[in-house]
Amino acid sequence: MRHNQHLGTIETMPKDSFEVLSDHKSPPTYNFFDGEKWVPSHSGKTIDIVSPVDDDVIGTVQSVTQSEIDSSIYRAKQAQKKWSSLPITKRGQILHLAADWIRHHEQMLTAQLITEIGKSVSEAKDEILRSADMIDYFANAGLSLRGEELEGDAFPGYDQSKMAIVERCPIGVVLAISPFNYPVNLSVSKLAPALIMGNSVVFKPPTQGSISCLYLTEIFRVAGVPDGTLVTLTGTGNDIGNYLVTHKDINMITYTGSSQVGKSIATKAGMIPLLFECGGNNPALVLPDADMVFTAGEIVKGAFSYSGQRCTAIKYVLGFPPTIDQLIPLVVEKTKSSIKMGDPRIETNNMGPVISEHAADEIEKRILVAKAEGATIVFGGKRDGRYIEPTILDNVNPHMEVMRIETFGPVVSFLRVQAIDEAVKIINDSDYGLQACIFTKDEGAGIVLGKQLDVGTIQLNNKPQRGPDHFPFLGVKGSGVGVQGISYTLEAMSRPKSIVLNKPQ
Ligand code: G3H
């Protein structure tokens, strides 16, 4: 028995809860969750999950069939009404319990993330704890999201005979597709708000990251999410993606991943609400008065944490020639002194491999093309298997491939501009628009400049980042659709429904 700030005295999650997940062989074959039971797929097809850390197969997951998708979504649809009629306080308690058990299993989940996606110890631990905090925050905030009452006579031509009672309703069955770089946290950012608002969830985890997501599913199930309310379907995007996103019983899609896949889903999904966070390709604009040592530190963190595999990573740095000349040696120095690449299971290493051999091939190719196009490799640029050195490129121009397409790896480019307007044009001409950061001691100038940039968020004197998680988080252009962030996501995952009272005159 333990004490939880939201629930009082609570039970620890039963020890044998995770037994049902797999066959316990070496490596284990994992089941999928059809909303009621953990079962193998009738497809007989499984997918090997290979650790990016050491190439070991750490498990295999099911590739579900279309008929298993149909029956699971049917269950989700049937279960949704009952779930939404449960008092929101009860739904909140279930979520708080899940958050508590995530904290309780922090060590196991952290270890799983390190092996499965190659995050460093501290990054993996942060992801788990942030996820528990996020669930608690969603559960609490859900209680205060409310509708409103409107009077008709506030619009010209109407009198007091009309009033609208506007309540917030669940949307129905939400399809949640999460990415490999935050398999737990970016799943939780979809599951928790969908559930607290009374939706049921069809959860499609990232293939690399699936196993962590199966543990997460079981935590929600044992915490009390009823049968059918959450189903977890594994399979590659190529095998099951199209079928899921075009399924007639999916009422909303929430997705995090590449812009390319996001655009393809948006084209196919039809007239349902979409909440997407896609690629970033985020710039840092450094003004001459910036604190250069501090700025260099933020650039290194922004470009190289989790090997640059964050949609909020810094991908290029813009400044006048003297600023860039001053900055590059400081960034190289900081990279040397603060980035320790190696096996992420060793706590002193803070940068691990990229997610797969294929991803490493793509990143290496991007560096080589940049070099062929005239960029200079100032630091790094080499590769050993899936380990790519933190790489700093100079003399990059906006037409190079490395500038036009997001490189999901540890590569940062430096560009010299002759005027601020030129920097603004480069940023605004991009196909992406997630975040931009501006470094200057003059916050007023930073605000004026920030207003000119077509991105979702401007960070003054900080690297781009999603958190704190109650701030609005959104991308424009190819970087996303809709707004996330606690109350924004809750609104997105519910809809207003009006009952208009027509009072007798
Ligand atoms: O990769 C996309 C994530 O939303 C980035 O989150 O800024 O907390 O690393 P982060």
Cβ neighbours of residue 346 closer than 8 Å, sequence gap 6 or more:
none
Quote the CA–CA distance of 142 and 279 in Å, as a whole number. 28
Atom of ligand 1 nearest to the CA of 179: 1
- For 191-203, b where at least 16 C-beta lie within 10 A, e where not — what string? bbbbbbbbbbbbb
Q: Is 465 in the pocket of ligand 1 (CB under 6 A)?
A: yes
The whole-number pLDDT of residue 89 equals: 97
> Among residues 229, 226, 224, 222, which one has the least CA distance to residue 203?
229
| Distance (Å, whole) CA 361 – CA 383 | 9
Q: What is the pLDDT of residue 7?
A: 83
The predicted pLDDT at position 505 comes to: 72
Q: Return the pLDDT at 2.
A: 72
Catalytic residue status for 311 = yes
Contacts of 343 (CB under 8 A, 6+ apart): 53, 54, 349, 352
Phi, then psi, of 319 in degrees rounded to 5: -175, 170
Q: Which of 116, 127, 218, 277 is catalytic?
A: 277
Atom 7, ligand 1: residue with shortest CA distance: 465
Q: Is 492 in the pocket of ligand 1 (CB under 6 A)?
A: no
Mean pLDDT of each 10-residue bin along the chain, 505 residues long? 79 86 96 98 97 96 98 98 97 97 96 97 98 98 94 96 96 98 98 98 98 98 97 97 98 98 97 97 98 98 98 98 98 98 97 97 98 98 97 97 97 98 98 98 98 98 97 98 98 97 87
* pTM of the shown model: 0.96
The tokens describing 368, both together, are 């080589």
Going by C-beta distance under 8 Å and a sequence separation of 6 or more, which residues neighbour residue 71? 34
Written as one letter, the residue type at 254 is T
pLDDT for res 12? 82
Quick one: pLDDT at residue 504? 81
Catalytic status, residue 148: no
Q: Give the Cα separation of 391 and 380 in Å (integer).
A: 4
User: Which atom of ligand 1 is the closest one to the Cα of 130?
Assistant: 8
C-beta of residue 411 within 8 angstroms of C-beta of residue 308: yes
- Is the shortest distance between the CB of 484 and ligand 1 below 6 Å? no
Q: Is the minimum distance from the CB of 468 to ligand 1 under 6 angstroms?
A: no
